[in-house]
Structure 1
């Protein structure tokens, strides 16, 4: 996995070739347009992350902010990490069904949607997935997942 040493989102974007910067910038704008209040955009884990700051929720298992969405330009593709799309979650089902209905190939791991071009994405569906989980709901989901362990 390609990671960046950039300290800021602007620095990260400037490090990308023009064509890749355009794609990442467009997806970043999509995320920011649909992001519920309370998440903050940062550089973390070598990519652009939208997360719950420790000042809002400090009791994470690894003492790191809870990551909600992340975006990176990898060597062969782009990766959009949608942490609520896992294990047949409601968001995962919506995303998979929308791609099937659109006749588009969905290249997705546990929560990583891999794509090679903007045309591979369904922006309205992805925007709805991103908008679907307010901070308090994400914290409740996180706490419930930790209680099961």
Structure 2
């Protein structure tokens, strides 16, 4: 059994249905070129090193993460790295979330937390996932990295 299978079998029963539905939405909408693997202890779509050999944080052994999905004790976490430093995408997501979900958005820099499986906006997440290609993500990451190093 590989790490991805082990992870999926370890998800608490109260989160399983929502987790697998969210994972399916991501898989169906992720642009071509991203690869699913375990990274930081959770399933993560990454830019493979063959595509971006510089790696994450200039670690040539670590692929650039894009989207991760984790089942925590009290919520599901969707980490979308493309939201960091992309004000237009972040504003779009905030506005669409307000229109589609009756509960307040629980979000950190890149982490969207869902504590109620009944209020997960699956179609909105699918649309969010589709919005950035591998090429766009690499360009955004490189630009953001250079801008944060200057500070």
TM-score range, shorter chain: 0.7 to 0.9
Structure-to-structure mapping, 1:128-143, within 5 angstroms:
128-143=127-142
Task: Normalising by structure 1, report the TM-score.
Answer: 0.88
Structure 1 stretches of at least 4 aligned residues deviating more than 6 Å after TM superposition: none
Q: Which residue of 1 aligns with 2:115?
A: 116
1:97 to partner: Cα distance = 0.4
Q: In 2, distance between residues paired with 1:12 and 1:21?
A: 11
Matched, 1:11 2:6: yes
Structure 2: state its 5+ residue gaps.
Answer: none
Contact 1:95 1:126 in 2 (8 A): no
Selected match of 2:92 from 72, 91, 94: 94
Matched, 1:24 2:19: yes
The structure with more helix, counted as a fraction of residues: 2
**Most deviating of 97-106 and 135-144:** 97-106
Structure 1: state its 5+ residue gaps.
Answer: 1-5
Aligned residues: 144
Q: In 2, distance between residues paired with 1:140 and 1:94?
A: 20
Matched, 1:43 2:38: yes
Q: Which residue of 1 aligns with 2:83?
A: 85
Contact 1:87 1:110 in 2 (8 A): no
Task: Normalising by structure 2, report the TM-score.
Answer: 0.86
